[in-house]
Amino acid sequence: MNYIINRTEEGLTRYPMHTHKNYEIMLYLEGAGYMRTEVGDFPFRRGTVVIVPPNIKHGSVSENGFKNISIEGSFNQYLHMDTVTSFEDNISQDGMALARMIYENRYGNAAYLNALCTAYVCFLMQQLDVESVIRQRVNAIAFEISENALNAEIDLASILSKSGYAEDYVRARFKKITGKTPNEFLTEIRIRHACFLIDIYKVELSLTEIAERCGYTDYPYFSKKFKSVMKISPREYQKY
């Protein structure tokens, strides 16, 4: 199978409307904006995947620039869509890793490249197929929590509300999919970062400063959360 594999140039803010005779799969590596299409606009950010069927006009626009990897090919064996589909990469960003591998091997062995592209499409279809909508929403929530975990003003209720589901329902689905509640997910990110800072700075930073850098304005509360994750206090951890 022949593929057309491209990566946009640094700082690109607009890609003109165009069409392809085959499916095109785009994964956004950087930036945020909109994929404009004849069937509507689709927002994108880092980790967004957009699949455009043949002969649909589309183009990207971003105020501050974007970067994506696009792969055009005859994926009819796997893809049976008649409209544009947009979803998010998983929490581990496996799709992004595969897209980068494909781009780096675009001039390499044809059989190996074909195997990579097949694995990529199968991975994307799995993302769509397994509880697709709710999993996309949970992945988006986890991503936003991860991106804002160290912000003391983070508002979990506001993030959860973006899913479009009732808060209790999305909390339950989040725990089923990730194994943690949203609060536990946030706490673990913060405490793992606190451990990293303690390991790096030792006593150069006070534990209060470390707590603040991890999104906690109340040191006793930070200490309590730290112990709930690490089973020892921050001060005990610092001594190791």
What is the DSSP annotation of the chain?
---EEEEPPTTEEE---B--SSEEEEEEEEE-EEEEETTEEEEE-TTEEEEE-TT--EEEEEEEEEEEEEEEE--TTT---SS-EEEE--TT-HHHHHHHHHHHTTTS-HHHHHHHHHHHHHHHHHHHHSSHHHHHHHHHHHHHHHHHTT-TT--HHHHHHTTSS-HHHHHHHHHHHHSS-HHHHHHHHHHHHHHHHHHHHTTSS-HHHHHHHTT-S-HHHHHHHHHHHHSS-HHHHHH-
Same domain for 50 and 165, yes or no, is: no
Q: What is the mean pLDDT of residues 172-198?
A: 94
**Tens digit of pLDDT for each residue in 205-239?**
999 999 999 999 999 999 999 999 999 999 999 98
**Structural domain span for residue 123:** 4-130
CATH number at residue 44: 2.60.120.280
Same domain for 163 and 63, yes or no, is: no
Please give the pLDDT value at position 163.
80
Number of domains in the chain: 2
CA distance 30 to 94: 15
Same domain for 9 and 125, yes or no, is: yes
Arithmetic mean of pLDDT over the chain: 92
- Range of weakest confidence among 3-17, 74-88, 89-103: 74-88
**Tens digit of pLDDT for each residue in 102-161?**
999 999 999 999 999 999 999 998 887 655 677 778 989 999 999 999 999 999 999 998
CA distance 68 to 10: 10
Same domain for 140 and 226, yes or no, is: yes
**Tens digit of pLDDT for each residue in 55-76?**
999 999 999 999 999 999 989 8
Same domain for 32 and 145, yes or no, is: no
CATH number at residue 192: 1.10.10.60
Residue 188 has pLDDT above 80, yes or no: yes
Task: Sort 207 into a burial class: Cβ within 10 Å, 0-12 / 13-18 / 19+.
Answer: buried
